[in-house]
Every structure is written in C-alpha cells, then in structure tokens.
A and B are shown apart, each in its own frame.
Chain A
C-alpha cells in the first residue's frame, strides 16, 4: 500500500476542490433561477387562478320576493328565512368524514349525500359555495354547529324565501314558487340555477314584478376561511309588491263556507269587475312547493281525483243548470217572444216528438209567468220560451252576456267553455240541431258548459245593467322602491243592451227566488239587504267509471246571487261539485259570503263615523 503524505503541496489541491465546489453552487444557483422562471413566468396564470380559488369567496345574497297583499294591505304571501347548508369546496379537508357526518345529521345514506354533492357541484359556478341542504331544522343547525370544529368548509346561512302564512287558503289564486328547472333556465333570461321562480297562479303571471334581483358579495378570505375584506358587493334589489283586489276577510269567509266540499266560490264587484274572493277546493299548501314535497304529500295531491291543482273557478267547466234560465229569460224578453205577462202551462213535462222533457217537479207548476218560472225554476216555461226564441238567438245572448268565452282574467289556464249552437253542432259532430237539443240548452244542460267565473261575470252583467266587465285581480303594482307604478282600472269588454222591462221582470223573479217562501234559493236570504239570485242543479251525465265512486253520483249544485238587488255591488257564485241541490248546498255558501260582505261594509262605515266624531 502506497501512502503519500503531503503537507506543503496540499494547498493547490484544496484550492482546486474549493473552486469545483463553488462552480457547482453557481450551477445549482442558476438551476434554481430557472425553476423560479418556470413558476413565475411560464406557470404564472395557472398559479394566479389557484390563488384566486383559495382566496376569493362569492356569496349570493338572495333578494326578497315582493309581497302579495290583499286590498286592505294584509300580507298573504310574504318572506321567511330559510336556513341552508353550503359547502365551500376549497376549504373541505376531509370529504369522507364530511359526507358521513352529514349523512348522520340529515338521515340519508352516505352515497346519497355524495351523489347530491356531485350533482350540485356540477351546476354551481366557480368560487361559489355548493348548496347542499335547505330548510334546516333547529336540531340540524345545532348538530352541524357542534361539529364545525371538525367539519371544515361547512357553512350555515340563511336566505329569504317565499312563505305563505295562510297555507292552503287562496292557493290557486296565489300559485307557488319553486326551483327553476332546466327548460325554464334556457327559455327565460336572467335567472341562475337554484333560483325560485313563480310557477303557477299570480306568482307565475306577475313574476316580473315580484322577483327581486339577487346580490353578490365577493370577499377575500385568509387560509382559515375568515373574511378579510369585501372586494365587491352588489346589493340585492327586493321585488315589487302586488296588491290584489281580494278582500281577505271575504276570502276567508268563502273558504270557510265552502269548507271541505269540492267546488269553487267567486265573488266579484259588479261595479268594477274586481274579484273580491276566489276559492277552489280541493286546494293545496303552496309552502310545500317551496320546501319540496315528501313522497306522501305529493301522492295526496297527485292521486286526488278532484285535481287539487286545478283552479275550478276558471279551469272547471260544468253545465250551469238552472242558473242559465237568466239567459233564456233575457233572450225571450229581449226578442219579444214573451213579456212579463206571458204565461205557459206546466203539467210536469214537455213532449217533443216521442220524447218527454221533464220539469223537475213531476206534478207540474200549472200556469206560470216569467216571475214564477224564475222563482220556482219551472223548466217547462223555459222550454217553451227557448223554442220560440230559437237556439241561435239563445246562443247569441249567452255569448253576449259573457258565457262561452274567456273572461280575460290575468291568470293562466282559463277555459272558454262551450255555448252550443246549430252551427257549432254541425262543425263539431256534423249533425243538425234538433228541438231536442234546444230544450236542455234552455235550462243549462246538454252541451252547455261554463266556468264559475263566467257565470259570475254573466250575473254581474245583468246586475249592473248590461256591462260585461273584465275581471280584475290586481289593484296595483308597487315598484321596487315601494311607489305605485301601475294601477288597474275597471274596463268594460262590451255593453249588452237590455230593455228596462227586461231587467225589471227578471230582477223581480231573481228577488223572488231568495225572498219568496216558494223560492228555490231561500237559503241565501239575509236580513241586511235584498239578495237576488238563481239556483242551479246540473245533472251529471253518468260517467261509467266514476259512478262507482259515491262522491260522483250527485248533481252539481250552483247558486249565483247579487245584492243589494236594486243597487248591486257584489255578485257571488258558488259551485259545489256533486253537491246535490243548488238551493240546499250552494245557496248557504252565497249567503255566508254576502252577510260577511255587508257586515264588513257596516264596520267600515262605523269606523268612518267614529273618525268624524
């Protein structure tokens, strides 16, 4: 082994090695510089985006929807806080733990929570938290808050949300809001995923007035998600309010009077066409649409054979029964085929060809004039009248007075119904019109089909002396700043010329219906004012499959009344599906609404009087 010990010669060796080391350091230094070049120049945009993600948070500030109020300012669709749980993606440290904890709190399988999260992430814009659960209960909020120390990225906050304080009342009128769906998002501009939009009723029609504009707050957070400063803030703009023509006290009275019976009640001001109350039953709780249905809640609605979502006041078409005798009487009197003294003899039936057309009273009414015919609802009198007038003229007057056409109410889905005529029958069935068609027509049966709203309009036309009014549901719109931006004024669709004698003859008959002992509508009598009106009992054609259900056996019950008889202010139409006799089932409903209306009026008067004192 050769060992050479160097002491003096060592210096150049050491210097050389040190120089090598220094060179190495210089090279590594340049490599580091290259790495910084890569990060700061080449990957700058990538890291800039990452930085924004970890630093920026956006929060949606949901604008409150405008209120819906009744004519006296009572709020019937308001806002309520909705507690929601959101997940800030960038802050989540342990997804697995998060999902399993949420699955416990919200009583869902973990896979469902995960699926929900994925679905929601796919529709949530960047830098926004992911909305997971809504309508948290107090217990859920407490449970989440208690877990916050280990559930990073979870946030509970609240949003303003539509609330219907009276639940089922006026549900068809108000409609409902619920989450906007994909097709709506594509069709309507200016909405974001997750927004709640008016889908039915007034909520739907007046969406542009009621909707607010959501705000956003963009904040900068530190590494712990704590707010550092507000980078940008767009304040939400609340929606405008809508004030209805509905009088909520009257609406409640009508709802109560109809009760659990299926049908509709419509109350209209005969002077202005303002709808004072509109009820349809069965109804639904619009709050469920906002919050989301439980399965059995939805089945209750979907499986109900009476279609709770249908507004029977304007979407239900039914034969008006004897309430149509108003039109037959007017047609006869106006055409001069009868006058107030004309009498026909009723022996209980009218024979046409080989077929007997019966009067509802088998024993007959004897000799009747128009007054008695209306009071006792004699069918034979109107058979005779209609035969003299002819179906064309009858149809003409029916249409003139407002039947068989849409009333033009600002709600979607209104049906026009059917007013038959020889022309109509030829087109529809390619058959000629027989006298056997005229007789049922005269007493509101057969092909004739109207909505309760149309019938109310028809009676209001007669009551106010011949003006077909367009029904109004909204009194005024308030803008986002609370100022009135639009007021609805009464509008007349057309005038029907009615001779004073016609009016007088028919009115006395309608008064008799309610006020005479033999009148069919005596159940609508009230002490305060004179009520005039007409009952109707519409025979139900036996639908084979339906007849099995006992609820479908009975005839439909109608009553339409107006008051005060000589200076009418209000018309009320009550319709009860399969309710039996109009005088027995529908008239008391009208009575209840009428007496409420006039007692409210008295209250208002008293108030005014006291104020003056």
Chain B
C-alpha cells in the first residue's frame, strides 16, 4: 500500500513538472509567434503537435517495455533508412535537408532517431557484462559504428547540432557502463591533434559560427550577429523582464530563430532573470525527477533507456541555454518542450511519457 502511494506521488510530481514546462513553453511560443496582426498560424500547429504528443504519451503507457526492446533494432534500421531517404528526397529549408514530407506536413527523422538509438543501445548493452577498468577499444568498435551511421547521416544534412547531441548522448550512455580512462584520454588527444583536419571539412557557415563564438564583436552584423543579438535580447530583459509580448528586441527580427532555437531569448527578454531562474529550476527539477524514477530500476534495458533519456534532455537543456547566453557556438539545438518543432515536440513528449510510465511501475 505504502509502495503504491509512493510511486503515485512520483508520477504526479513528474506530471506537474512536465505540465508546467509545457505550459511555460506554449505561452512563450505564443509570444514568439505574436505580431501586431495577431499570432502566426504556427501557434495552432504547435497546439496540434501537443495534442498528437499527448496521444503518443497515452499510447506508450500501454506498450510493453519488452515490446520496445524487441523491436528496437528494427526501429533503428527503419529510422536509418528514413535518414537516407531525407538525403535523397528531403525538403530543403535554408540550405539544409532535414525534413520529409510536404509543406503542410513534414517530419524530421533526425529527431526520432535520437530516441530510437537510445532504445537500441540500451538493448545492445542489456546483457553485455561490464568490464573492469572500463571498456577498451575493441569492445567499442561495434557500438561506435552503430551510432556513427545516423550521426554521419544527420551531419550530412547538415544538422551539426542534432548530430552532436546524438553522438554525445550515446557517448554518455556508454560512459555510464564504463570506458577505459586511457582510451578516453588517447581519443581526446587524437581529436585535439586532428582538429585542424576536421576544421578543413567543416562548411563555411559552420566555421564562421565558431569564429563568431570566439569573438562575436569582430563581425557584429555577420556571423557574430546571432550571439550578439541574443545577448542583447537577454540582457535587456533585466531582472523583471519587459513583460509578456513586449519583447521588442526579439520581435523586431533581430533574433532570426526566435520561435525555434532561440525561443529562450524571447522568454529571457520578456520575463527577465526572475523568469529564467524559475525556468532553470523547473528543468533541473525535471532532470532530478527523471533520475529518481530511473535510479532504482533493476531491469538493465529500462535503466539504460531511462538514463539515455535523462542524458538527452540534459544535453539539450545545457547546450541550448549556453548557446542563447553566448557560452556556446550557435549549433541549432532546440530546447525540449520550449522550441517550436513538431517532430521534436512529439518525440520529447513520448520520451517523457515513457518516464511517466516508469514512475508508475517503479
């Protein structure tokens, strides 16, 4: 009896945090899409995405974990094929092929594969014994190959942000299981050594973004533009913010991706430091709640999948906020449940739905 109450409490705690974050995100997207002529129709699309996401949350409650585990590999292969399809027949927006589908309905497989890869890796390591002193190189070749296939396909779109998130989510998952320290240091050293060669393969706009990150003021209207303008928007917010719908700096077009990757700059401008404070606390609470859900799970597959989702949310949260406040180069990483984007919203809601299911049964 006591157990049931406890897990119920955990479930409701998560539900409240998730709802709060969705509500704040939706209110902010309304503002980001608001003009003097009313709100953009994209806002209503966003509401539809929330609705679809909610259905997905409900669906995943009745799906058996073992079913997910059993179909993980097939789902992964299916998603990889979709990524290949994107490169062949994808929709091109701003010079990048990231979407499948038509103008009215499009779908971003790169968002879906983040979750699918987590499940597949969890399945991969389910029966894999740990290695004293961490895994060595020969243990890692196969999982590395598995992860690199979608990572490279996404990087080719090009969508460096999502590719990095995918790669590092997988990396941290394996890190939980243990990687040989020497190996990490060697790889790290090698990457540092070879970085000039990687640099050579970066696209021009990616190079400019790195330059801009290193010194945004050197080219204020060029590549440093995003960073400076985002800093201005955030900075003008002050302590109390400018008030809802009054964020001129983001509204007047100074922030180009104001409803997607830079949605948080709109929020920071309008709600000020006080709003930022609460939002960061809610997100840290969400991550902590997920940790509480996952930490006692004995099923290795479920534990790893849950941990993977925690890592995914943490990376998104940190990278996006760091980007908005100028601590990280502009790499197009959305903020879960906050940035506009249908596929991402549905995938993230589904992931949280999975966590809610775990919170009921743990």
A residues contacting B by CB (< 8 A) are 2-7, 10-11, 13-15, 17-19, 21-22, 25-26, 28-29, 32-33, 35-37, 39-41, 43-44, 46-48, 50-51, 54-55, 92-93, 220-224, 228
Contacts and interface: CB of A to CB of B under 8 A. Distances in A.
Given A22-B310, A55-B248, A32 B280 contact: yes
Contacts of B287: 22, 25-26
A6 B129 contact: yes
B150 interface: no
Given A28-B318, A32-B325, A40 B175 contact: no
Contact of A222 (B222, B228, B253): B253
Contacts of A224: 253
Contacts of B332: none
Contacts of A4: 131-132
B222 A93 contact: yes
Contacts of A35: 322, 325-327
Contacts of B239: 40-41, 44
A14 B311 CA distance: 14
Contacts of A3: 131-132
A39 B235 contact: yes
**CB-CB nearest 7 A-B residue pairs:** A47-B235, A5-B129, A223-B253, A222-B252, A40-B273, A4-B132, A222-B253
B177 A14 contact: yes
B272 interface: yes
Contact of B318 (A7, A32, A92, A228): A32
B206 interface: no
Contact of B268 (A15, A36, A228): A36
B248 A220 contact: yes
A224 B268 CA distance: 23
Contacts of A50: 228, 232, 235
A588 B264 CA distance: 88
Contacts of B177: 14
B310 A36 contact: no
Nearest to B284: A29
A32 B314 CA distance: 13
Contacts of B317: 25, 29
A220 B246 CA distance: 13
Contacts of B232: 47, 50-51, 54
Contacts of A26: 284, 287-288
A173 B291 CA distance: 91
Main secondary structure of the interface of A (DSSP, over half): helix
B130 A10 contact: yes
B314 A25 contact: yes
B130 A5 contact: yes
A6 B294 CA distance: 20
B236 A51 contact: yes
A6 B132 CA distance: 8
Contacts of B132: 2-4, 6
A4 to B, nearest CB: 4
Nearest to A17: B176
Contacts of A222: 252-254
Contact of B235 (A13, A43, A228): A43
B235 A19 contact: no
Interface string B215-226: 000000110000
A171 B296 CA distance: 99
Contacts of B268: 36, 40
Contacts of A55: 248-249, 252, 254
Interface in B226-283: 228-229, 231-239, 248-249, 252-254, 268, 272-273, 276-277, 280, 283
9 contacts: A6-B130, A7-B130, A15-B296, A18-B294, A21-B172, A36-B276, A36-B280, A41-B273, A221-B252
B175, B177, B273: which has the most chain A beta carbons within 10 Å? B273
Contact of A18 (B236, B253, B276, B307): B307
A45 B231 CA distance: 12
A478 to B, nearest CB: 43
A5 B132 CA distance: 7
A279 B232 CA distance: 63
B321 interface: yes
Interface string B311-351: 10010011001100111000000000000000000000000
Given A6-B129, A14-B303, 9 more contacts: A7-B130, A14-B177, A32-B322, A39-B325, A40-B276, A47-B231, A51-B232, A221-B252, A228-B252
B298 interface: yes
Contacts of B311: 21
Contacts of B327: 32, 35
B314 A33 contact: no
Contacts of B252: 55, 220-223, 228
A98 to B, nearest CB: 12
B143 interface: no
B232, B268, B280, B283: which has the most chain A beta carbons within 10 Å? B232
Contacts of A43: 235
B277 A33 contact: yes
Given A29-B318, A93-B221, A36 B325 contact: yes
B207 interface: no
Interface in B283-306: 283-284, 287-288, 291, 294-296, 298, 300, 303
A33 B275 CA distance: 11
A121 B132 CA distance: 69
Nearest to B320: A32
Given A18-B176, A40-B268, A55-B248, A25 B235 contact: no
Contacts of B272: 40
Nearest to A50: B232
Contacts of B248: 51, 55, 220
